[in-house]
Amino acid sequence: MVVILKPKTTEEDVQKMISYVKDMGLDVMVNTGVDCTVLGLLGDTSRIDPDTLMLNCHVDRVMRIAEPFKKASRKFHPEDSVYEIGDSKIGVEKTFTIIAGPCSVESEGQILEVAEDVKKSGAKLLRGGAFKPRTSPYSFQGLELEGIRLLKEAKEKTGLPIVTEIMSPYMVESFVENVDVIQVGARNMQNFDLLKELGKCKKPILLKRGLSSTIEEWLMSAEYILAGGNPNVILCERGIRTFETYTRNTLDLSAIPAVKRLSHLPVIVDPSHSAGMSWMVEPLSLAAMAVGADGIIVEVHNCPEKALCDGAQSLNPKQFDSLMKKLKGVGKSLGIEV
C-alpha cells in the first residue's frame, strides 16, 4: 500500500505518520520527493482500511498495490488449482468439464432418467437443486432432504458425483456427509456466515457470482472460504444484472480471462441462468470454451415444458446430447478434452 502525503507536510508530521503506521505492525519505506513524501507500507496491509488513513489531514491519496484477496490470488499461488472429483479433474489446462442435470430434483423418476441421459451423453457430474432459493415464497421450494436422498440414489445408479445448492450454514454438516460438491448460489454469495462455515470443511465449493457483484467482491467471497481453511473453491460465472432486459442476465464472458489472470481457482460458466433461454445455451457454452473456462454447468430436464423451476432455460436430453457433440467437436479442434 502506498500513502502519498500532501505537499508541504512538515518533517514532524511525516514522522508522526510513520509512527502511526509502525504502531499498526507495519514497516515503512520513505521516499522524499521534491513536492511530496510517499510512504510505502510494508507487511500485511489487508486489515488496513485506506479510507481510515485518509482521515489524516496530511494524507493526499492512498493506493493499494496488492489485491485484498491473498489466498485466491495467483500472485502467491501461480499454478492452477485442480480438484479431482469422480472421473474429472476440474481446473486442469485443456480440459472442459460438464456438469448437467435439472434445476430442481422433482421426483425419483425424473432425476434417475435425467441422470442416465446426461451420463450417456458425457456429463461428468450431476446437478440438481434440493433446497431452492425462489423469489416467490409460493413457488416450488424443492424436495429438501428427500431431494438429496434422490440425488444419492442417482449417483448410485450412474456413478456421477452430485452437485447441489446449500442455503443455510446449519446444513453444512449434512451436505458434507451426503454430496460431492456444495453449490453456493448467486443469492448467497455474500452470506458470510455460510461462507465461514464452508471454510471449516474440505468439500469442493462451487461459488456462483452474485447477481450484482464485481469480480473483486466475488473473489473476496472465495477468500472467506479459503481463509477458513478450505482450499477447494470452484468459481462459476452465471450472468450478472445489467440494464439489458432481453436476457434473464448478462453473461460476463470477460470475467473468465480476468479471473484466470487474477486467481488460480478454476472457473466455469452457467449458460442456463445467464440468458434464461434454452436456445442460447449452445452458443454461450461454445463461447465459454473459447474464452478459457474450465467447464459449464447446464440445466437439463426430461420434460422442460413441465419443469417446476427454470423450464424455459432447460435443454431436453436430446438437445443436451447435441450440445455435447458440438462441444466435443470444437474441443477437438482446439486441443481441449471434453
Binding site for ligand PEP (CB under 6 A): 103, 129, 133, 185-187, 208, 238, 270, 273
Closest to Mn ion by CB, 62 vs 166, is 166
Closest by Cα among 182, 227, 230, 224 to 206: 182
Closest to ligand PEP by CB, 189 vs 262, is 189
Burial, 108: exposed, middle or buried (Cβ in 10 Å; 0-12, 13-18, 19+)? Answer: middle
Residue 186's binding partner out of Mn ion, ligand PEP, none, with CB under 5 to 8 Å set by partner kind: ligand PEP
Question: What mask, x for binding Mn ion by CB under 5 A, covers residues 82 to 121?
Answer: ---------------------x------------------
Query: Shortest approach of ligand PEP to residue 58 CB, angstroms?
Result: 46
Distance CA 276, CA 238 (A): 10
Query: Shortest approach of ligand PEP to residue 68 CB, angstroms?
Result: 24
Q: For cell 467482491, name the residue.
A: 217
CB 203 within 8 A of CB 166: no
Closest to ligand PEP by CB, 1 vs 118, is 118
Q: For cell 470452484, name the residue.
A: 234
Closest to ligand PEP by CB, 298 vs 327, is 298
The whole-angstrom distance between residue 135's C-alpha and the CA centroid of its chain comes to 21
Cα-based torsion angle of the residue sequence 96, 327, 110, 182 in order, rounded to the nearest 10 degrees: 20
Distance CA 252, CA 13 (A): 46
Query: Shortest approach of ligand PEP to residue 129 CB, angstroms?
Result: 5
Query: Shortest approach of ligand PEP to residue 311 CB, angstroms?
Result: 12
* List 310, 314, 320, 323, residue binding Mn ion (CB under 5 A): 310
CB 273 within 8 A of CB 236: no
Q: Is 270 in the site for Mn ion (CB under 5 A)?
A: no
Binding stretches for Mn ion (CB under 5 A): 103, 310
